[in-house]
Amino acid sequence: MKGKKAFPPPSVLNYNTIQQTRISLLQLNGANRMIKMLSGNEAVARGMWEAGVVVASAYPGTPSTEILENFALFPHVYAEWAPNEKVAVDVAVGAAYAGHRGMAIMKHVGLNVAVDSFMYASMTGMEAGLVIVTADDPAMHSSQNEQDNRTFAKFGRVPCLEPSDSQEAKDMVSAAFELSERFDTPVLLRLTTRICHSTSSVDLGERTTPVSEPRPFPRKPGKYVMVPGNAVKRHPVIERRICDIAAFAETFPDNRNEPGGRSLGIITSGVAYQYSREVFPQASILRLGMTWPLPEKMIRKFAKSVKRLIVIEELDPFIEEAVHLMGITVEGKCIFPITGEFDPRVVRESAVLAGLLPASASVPLPEVELGALPGRPPVLCPGCPHRPTFYILNKLKVPVNGDIGCYTLALFPPLSAIHTCGCMGAGIGVAHGATKAGSPEHHVAVIGDSTFFHSGIPALINVVYNCSPVTTVILDNRITGMTGHQENPGTGRTLLGQETIRIELEPLVRALGVRHVKSVAGYDVKAIEKALKEYVKLDEPTVLVVEEPCALMPDVRKHWLPLEVLEEKCNGCTLCFRIGCPAILKSEELDEKTQRPKALIDAGMCTGCEVCAEICPREAITFRPVEMEGGAS
């Protein structure tokens, strides 16, 4: 970092400036109550600021991404994109060890990556608050599974808070830090897509917790060095801790009994509370803001106060099973689905089927017969620099082990060139394993730049170390595309807009011991074809870096220039349809000889990447004539 200015750590930021900013914001909010419509993610960011979070680290992932993006907009905060979620948790732990509030944010599957760190943080506790946000994705709107991360709270002996709307999403950040500091424990703040991406009104608060002064880093090896001799002493501590928190849960204000009729009692949490209120306005409701550990006395009392007890919770029967273990008769997943996302209809119709509501409560649907409507699956954008690589891979007919990113969309026809995709960083290892098992074809692993930095590097080291002739294609668009253009270690810029070292892929890959490495331009179809044809024949690890910025980057958009098809030259060969570009349409015009539709380019969508022009054998695709400026005046 010589010659570069590192971002000043928060402790050395001018405290007066922080004070001044705080005062101005307090004046803004203090006198007049300020209510704003905020998404759950925006509300969490606001809550982080109000709670005096000093260091926040995250890896982008839907539905959690906007939390850190919004937090980074507040004055004098430190926020960073980490290369992966495990690093993000370690960073937040480091801040908390150093005596400052730290926060790590991720989507549900991100916690799988970070769980090793999550577990030691639970063992050690910290000097200041540590909160980890997990944003679960019931219905898998943009995820590979719909795991219920409340299980990790139980697994790690850590409390779990679940807000039911944006107001609570904000307020629970402060509550989580207070809990964390009171009991010396990390706290899991569990959101779901519907909380993250729904908007409701929030009464903004003030920044009540001042940013703490710098203090010496603690030397407490018995607490912070988890060698077996120390860890063995810490385990009983955390077991006692979770019992103490369970006792505290009995009086935790966000665990709330809302008495109603005695015939039905509902235990619920998160957004399911809202559906419960809506569908069962008369019922008694026990709303749990803390879903681990559970307030056993409160639950027993509630169960006794009603005739029939049910749990309404999305995904796993997490609360239901715990209530069963208390020896209380309860129903849940025998009534409501274990898969997918709830809404008022799901809850109501399930309740009707179970006899909880009369048949007359059921809402009939129009049920107009519409036949099979054309689907609108997400597609690689017009001008996407990943397209040529997949066009060639499809042509080569090789097995392709893919990864997580926009490029996974190349699984759809006509590209059809992704054959596996499991989780971040999996493709290279899968390609290696298949090769070692004797898969008769040459395997190609395809991974984006951000995913490669996230978890692709160890897998590539394995390919080199254990020698397999896997070809790894790194699609390097210098940005994290899928989640909406977040910076990454290859961007050369941080989340806070600081210039930084740009990690170059080719030297990195060479340093790992890969002898055959090449970088090619993303739109150079011929160069990609030549390189891949060569690499799939080699009996050694090979890496092709395909470099081209995402076509949606603002700087790239400026240079968009649409192409057109010269009708007289096009003979309807249909080759350009095979790249699956949404800007290339089938014309009504048929070629006289072939009787096949000619191509037509939608000028509003075309970016002018010229990939179709490169593969057109008749040079029938060219730039539109540019209207010359001047002359008229």
Q: Are 377 and 582 in contact (CB under 8 A)?
A: no
Cα–Cα distance, 112 to 133 (Å, whole number)? 13
Q: Which stretch binds other proteins (CB under 8 A): 12-20, 78-86, 109-117, 377-385?
A: 377-385
Q: How far is the CB of 161 from other proteins (least distance, A)?
A: 19
* 415 lines the binding site for other proteins (CB under 8 A): no
What minimum distance in Å lies between the beta carbon of 584 and other proteins? Answer: 7
Task: List strand residue ranges (DSSP E) for 532-592, in order.
Answer: 542-547, 563-565, 584-590
The answer to whether residues 403 and 424 touch, using CB atoms and an 8 Å cutoff, is yes
Q: Identify which of residues 15 and 412 has a Cβ nearer to other proteins in the complex.
A: 412
> In angstroms, what is the minimal distance from the CB of 411 to other proteins?
13
Nearest distance from C-beta of residue 524 to other proteins, angstroms: 24
CA 599 and chain centroid, separation: 38
CB closer to other proteins out of 415 and 531:
415
Using rule CB under 8 A, residue 253 touches other proteins = no
Q: What's the CA gap between 576 and 416, in Å, rounded?
A: 15
Residue 466 interacting with other proteins (CB under 8 A): no
366 is an interface residue for other proteins by CB under 8 A: yes
367 touches other proteins by CB under 8 A: yes
C-alpha torsion 296→302→303→308, nearest 10: -150
Report yes or no: 253 and 287 within 8 Å, Cβ to Cβ.
Answer: no
585 lines the binding site for other proteins (CB under 8 A) = yes
Nearer residue to other proteins within complex by CB, 399 or 405: 405
| Interaction of residue 586 with other proteins, rule CB under 8 A | yes
Within positions 59 to 118, which residues make up the interface with other proteins, using CB under 8 A? 62-63
Q: What are the residues whose beta carbons fall under 8 Å from the beta carbon of 533, sequence distance 6 or more?
A: 396
Is 21 among the residues that bind other proteins (CB under 8 A)? no
Contact between 626 and other proteins by CB under 8 A: the answer reads: no
Query: Does 554 participate in binding other proteins (rule CB under 8 A)?
Result: no
User: Please, are residues 381 and 405 in contact by the beta-carbon 8 Å criterion?
Assistant: no
Quick one: which of 277, 287, 443, 478 contacts other proteins (CB under 8 A)? 277
Handedness of CA 450, 454, 456, 461 (dihedral sign): positive
The window from 236-244, 369-377, 421-429, 453-461 that contacts other proteins (CB under 8 A) reads 369-377
- Using the contact rule CB under 8 A, the part of the chain among 110-118, 275-283, 325-333, 615-623 near other proteins is 275-283
CB nearer to other proteins: pick between 197 and 516: 197
- 34, 161 contact by CB (below 8 A): no
- Over the window 330 to 359, marking each residue x when it contacts other proteins by CB under 8 A and - when it does not, the resulting string is -------------xxxx-x-----------
Binding flag, residue 477, other proteins (CB under 8 A): no
Which residue's structure tokens are 């005062």? 23
Backbone φ, ψ for residue 160 (5° rounding): -125, 125
Minimum Å gap between C-beta 214 and other proteins is 40
**445: which strand partners?**
401, 472
User: Between 187 and 267, whose beta carbon lies closer to other proteins?
Assistant: 267
Residue 25 has which token pair? 């914001």
Q: Which of 413, 458, 507, 513 binds other proteins (CB under 8 A)?
A: 413
Nearest residue (CB) to other proteins, 41 versus 180: 41
Kindly tell me which of 122 and 166 has the beta carbon lying closer to other proteins.
Answer: 166
471 binds other proteins (CB under 8 A): no
**Cα-Cα-Cα-Cα dihedral sign, residues 197, 198, 202, 208:** negative
Selected from 275, 302, 390, 523, the binder of other proteins by CB under 8 A is 275
User: 3-state SS string over 110-165?
Assistant: HHHHHHHHHHHHHHHCCCCCEEEEEEECCCCCCCCCCCCCHHHHHHHCCCEECCCC
Of the candidates 29, 151, 198, 420, which one interacts with other proteins according to CB under 8 A?
198
Which residue type, as a one-letter code, is found at position 628? M
* Residue placing its CB nearer to other proteins in the complex, 228 or 371: 371
Interaction between residue 201 and other proteins (CB under 8 A):
yes
Minimum distance from residue 591 beta carbon to other proteins (Å): 15
CB 191 within 8 A of CB 136: yes
Residues 6 or more apart from 464 whose CB is under 8 A from it?
A: 512, 513, 514, 541
Residue whose CB is less far from other proteins, 227 or 372: 372
Nearer to other proteins by Cβ, of 113 and 380: the residue is 380
Residue the block writes with tokens 């048949």: 359
Which whole-number Å values give the CA distances from 607 to 212, 433, 600, 626, in the listed order? Answer: 50, 39, 14, 14
- Whether omega before 293 lies within 30 degrees of 0, making that bond cis, reads yes
Residue 377 lies near other proteins (rule: CB under 8 A) = yes
Between 296 and 349, CB nearer to other proteins: 349
Contact between 102 and 130 under an 8 Å Cβ cutoff? The reply is: yes
Assess 225 for contact with other proteins (CB under 8 A): no
Q: Is 280 in the site for other proteins (CB under 8 A)?
A: no
The pair of three-digit structure tokens given for residue 142, joined into one six-digit string: 């943009």
Positions that interact with other proteins (CB under 8 A) = 35, 37, 62-63, 141-142, 165, 194, 197-201, 271, 274-275, 277-278, 343-346, 348, 363-368, 370, 372-381, 406, 409, 412-414, 482, 484, 552, 577, 580, 582, 584-586, 597
